[in-house]
Chains A and B, each alone.
Chain A
Amino acid sequence: ETGVTQTPRHLVMGMTNKKSLKCEQHLGHNAMYWYKQSAKKPLELMFVYSLEERVENNSVPSRFSPECPNSSHLFLHLHTLQPEDSALYLCASSHYLSWDPYEQYFGPGTRLTVT
């Protein structure tokens, strides 16, 4: 499978649930990103990992916990979310920690609904 894949594609969870989003890439990229896309808001960068090390936490609440066990996988662990956390969560990867749009690939996203 090529490109960046994300699972699940859709997720509905209650505020007391714990769930995880998964992102996978087999492009040989060294950097991976989590973005949040809320309705009528700009795309927001949440976390950035480079060589499995977190290099950015963009003031994200602790109810979102990222994990990067290896350069091909990125997780976003969710717990005690709020309804305002409902959004499309996009994963992206790039060869190096820089924004070269020709080398950056986005996954299809996970549509999260918090009830």
Chain B
Amino acid sequence: SQELEQSPQSLIVQEGKNLTINCTSSKTLYGLYWYKQKYGEGLIFLMMLQKGGEEKSHEKITAKLDEKKQQSSLHITASQPSHAGIYLCGAGAPNSGGSNYKLTFGKGTLLTVNP
């Protein structure tokens, strides 16, 4: 089965600093999703990457997909306290026994942004 390894497990940065979170898959990536979770809240969908080399941005968050490396990175520029939370990556696989609703998730990266 597919496994997603996220690094780092946790990260503490000073407000205004840039940071990168990585998500590496044990198998070929066919779609990679990034979510953010705040304590006591559900997952909030951030971005979906489907093609190798694809890059998407939303406000100060940029995600890239490196298909060859089976890896995705999430980069935050000029971090703010509002960026704090847990970032999760999720990946799907084609023909998951006909179950196209099954996703594999990483363990998450806990981001703390100090003012």
Contacts and interface: CB of A to CB of B under 8 A. Distances in A.
Secondary structure dominating the interface of B: strand
Interface stretch (A14-22, A63-71, A75-83, A96-104): A96-104
B78 interface: no
Interface residues of B, number: 24
Interface string A89-109: 010101001110110111111
A99 B40 contact: no
Given A41-B107, A42-B104, A43-B105, A102 B42 contact: no
Given A31-B101, A98-B101, A99-B101, A42 B43 contact: no
Interface residue tally of chain A, by bracket?
Answer: 20 to 34
Contacts, number: 56
B107 A97 contact: no
A41 B4 CA distance: 11
A43 to B, nearest CB: 4
B88 interface: yes
A43 B45 contact: no
B101 A108 contact: no
B40 A9 contact: yes
A17 to B, nearest CB: 22
Interface in A2-21: 4, 9
A109 B44 CA distance: 12
B42 A90 contact: yes
Nearest to B46: A101
A45 interface: yes
Interface of B: 4, 9, 33, 35, 40-45, 48, 88, 90, 92, 99-108
21 contacts: A40-B107, A41-B107, A42-B107, A42-B108, A43-B43, A43-B88, A48-B101, A56-B99, A56-B101, A56-B102, A90-B42, A90-B43, A92-B43, A99-B92, A99-B102, A101-B33, A102-B45, A106-B43, A107-B42, A109-B41, A109-B42
